[in-house]
Structure 1
Amino acid sequence: MKKEEIRIRDPFVLPDKEKKLYYLYGTTDENVWDGDGTGFDAFTSADLENWEGPVQVFRPTKEFWATKHFWAPEVYYLNEKYYMFASFKSEDQCRGTQVLISKNPLGPFVPLTNKPVTPENWECLDGTLYIDNHNNPWMIFCHEWIQVQDGEICAIQLSEDLREAVSNPVILFRASEAKWTRGENNNYVTDGPFLIKDSQGQLKMLWSSIGEKGYAIGVARSESGNILGPWVQEAEPLFAESGGHGMLFETFEKDLLLTIHSPNSTPNERPCFFSVVDDNGLKLGKKKE
């Protein structure tokens, strides 16, 4: 398959340097908004252009609590295991991010626990993993605008085995704090946080919201270098028009790439890759054709 043939939202790439393979995960259900949740598929590539798949990496059992909105899986390799962070919802339970585990990057992934790690009574999504300077794992996630109006990016410290939160959630910032975001009826969206340290050693966060030209990606910087901030927003978005939920990864050739889904319209979403220049700030480069 070519990447133009892959319909996916919230793309996440895990490079495997030993196998020289890229694993692409994302929201892959046919009806991502209203239908029953099916699961997650993944794709593999050696060059980011020619892809094999889809491979079923997660399918829920009958006992699984969630029934819809299977969204935004991210996969990390830790302690010789693969951990997936993904969001789920049911009619009688709030949306939350749950941790799944597998011995293989192509699954099958199974729930690490029987419930999400995010707060039980909060509508949450898009949990992402960050390991701090003391090797403590954190989940950074969105507390949704549908519950708080001004969407929040929050953090909770996780136990070493990633099974549970060991701290209360902390609000890092709200969507309206960025000059580039646009609200509707005072509702401001937060989506897709992703953490990275740039070439200067500064801790930065990509995150998505609605901007002047639609779905967009902004960048925030931690003034302390610590996950708890304070966080300062860059005035202009990194990506400004009809594309978002981005993450950064390094290719086998040491190039820094941003992947997003674009356009932000169902069913036309496709994975896109852009070069990123990391020189006294992250700057968007050319699209990888």
Structure 2
Amino acid sequence: MRLPDMPLHDPFIVADKKTRTYYLYTSNDRSVSGVAGTGTMVYRSHDLRAWKRPVVVFLAAEQKGIWTTDGGWAPEVHEWGGKYYLFTTLHNQNKPLPIPPPNQWGTPFPIGNYMRGTTIAVSDSLLGPFTVLDPSRPVPPENLMTLDGTLYVDPSGQPWMVYAHEWLQTIDGTMEAIRLAPDLSKTVGDPTYLFKASDAFWTSEQIPSGVPNQLPPYVTDGPQLYRGPDGSLIMLWSTYEKNLVNKDGTIGGRYVQTYAVSKSGNIKGPWSQRRPLVRNDSGHGMLFHTFDGQLMMVLHRPFNNARGKLYEMQLLGHELRVLRQRTDLDGGG
């Protein structure tokens, strides 16, 4: 298979040096995996060009006592303590959450607030099967509607989960972090606020002249952390750029891939925002190195019926830039 033929959303690549194999994790899709159900599948390649048909490594319905079987978004696999840990977002529409009190933007949305968050599962193999550590609840505080949890390990060796707090609860979506126990089975302490989506100063620059700037919602999606050579901390994340006028006069937008920088190198920041890396309805990217040392970014485009796109990247200090899209691998578009 080639990337243009591979349905995928929220791609995450593990470059396994031991087997010189790239593992590309994404939400299970029965049309290519042949297996029904909410879960995670993985494509494999030795050259980022030819990929094996995916195999399913996690199914929510097979987890005894699992709090939900819906979702399966944004799967990531991280090596930690000699094992492999799958982070994936699940949700349960039958478990409504209380509506938070009004904030500076107004009253949060009364519809659509239900239990959503990242669950962690463990395996001895990159090919699974993965078993949920705590089937009773998501890892972040269950009163928060969250998604896209990712693993970050600070310089002291403390593991954290960084996640997006949904705009449905906050109106202006936020990025937050919470410490994890050494075995990743539970959280420790309270969440730490990192930044909000509207901190991205460019989000409304593309609104046509003469059209009044609309208030939120502002969306936070897809955090991934990367340590820069100067010790800074870089976070890839995605949002919607407000650049379209809908037929009813309201403002719409398209998905974009951007990033933020903590020059201090501390997860708590302060975080400063950078301009988008890729537009054109692209996003939920992550960085990895090829086996010959090239820094790469994979993301999906378009948001619906998505396919994987690959970019060669350059990181100078804490400034990240796109060198070129690898259309020879991803088919362009």
Shared fold (TM-score, shorter chain, > 0.5): yes
Relative distance call for 1:51 and 1:143 in structure 2 (3 A) is same
Written as runs of structure 1 = structure 2, the 5 A alignment for 1:40-55 is 40-55=40-55
Q: Partner letter of residue 276 of structure 1? A: M
What is the deviation of 1:150?
0.2
Structure 1 partner of 2:196? 174
Consecutive unaligned residues of structure 1, counting only runs of 5 or more, are none
Worse overlay, 51-60 or 206-215:
206-215
Q: How many residues align?
A: 282
Worse overlay, 274-283 or 148-157:
274-283
Residues of 2 paired with 1:113 and 1:259: CA distance? 30
Structure 2 partner of 1:189? 219
1:247 is the counterpart of 2:286: yes
Residues of 1 paired with 2:56 and 2:28: CA distance? 10
Structure 1 partner of 2:331? none
Residues of 1 paired with 2:148 and 2:27: CA distance? 11
Q: Partner letter of residue 278 of structure 1? A: L
What TM-score comes out, normalization by structure 2 length?
0.81
Worse overlay, 53-62 or 107-116:
53-62
Pairing partner for 1:103 from 111, 114, 124: 124
Structure 1 partner of 2:176? 154
Structure 2 partner of 1:231? 271
Preserved contact between residue 142 and residue 190 of structure 1 (Cα < 8 Å): yes
Structure 1 partner of 2:308? 271
1:203 is the counterpart of 2:250: no
3-state SS, counterpart of residue 146 of structure 1: helix
3-state SS, counterpart of residue 303 of structure 2: coil
Q: Deviations over 1:17-56 (max 9, x none)?
A: 010000000123469xxxx952111110000110012101
Residues of 2 paired with 1:184 and 1:123: CA distance? 24
Residues of 1 paired with 2:314 and 2:7: CA distance? 27
CA RMSD of aligned residues (A): 1.7
Preserved contact between residue 101 and residue 112 of structure 1 (Cα < 8 Å): yes
Larger radius of gyration: 2
Preserved contact between residue 126 and residue 192 of structure 1 (Cα < 8 Å): yes
Preserved contact between residue 7 and residue 29 of structure 2 (Cα < 8 Å): no
Q: Deviations over 1:192-237 (max 9, x none)?
A: 0000012222111110001146111111111321001111111x11
3-state SS, counterpart of residue 10 of structure 2: strand
3-state SS, counterpart of residue 176 of structure 1: helix
3-state SS, counterpart of residue 169 of structure 1: strand
Preserved contact between residue 258 and residue 274 of structure 1 (Cα < 8 Å): yes
Residues of 2 paired with 1:30 and 1:260: CA distance? 21
What is the deviation of 1:4?
1.1
Residues of 1 paired with 2:309 and 2:28: CA distance? 15
Preserved contact between residue 171 and residue 218 of structure 2 (Cα < 8 Å): yes
Runs (4+) of structure 1 exceeding 4 A deviation are 182-185
Q: Deviations over 1:62-100 (max 9, x none)?
A: 632213121010001112210011100012331010110
Consecutive unaligned residues of structure 2, counting only runs of 5 or more, are 96-114, 205-212, 244-252, 329-333
Q: Partner letter of residue 324 of structure 2? A: K
Q: Partner letter of residue 100 of structure 1? A: A
Relative distance call for 1:249 and 1:184 in structure 2 (3 A) is farther
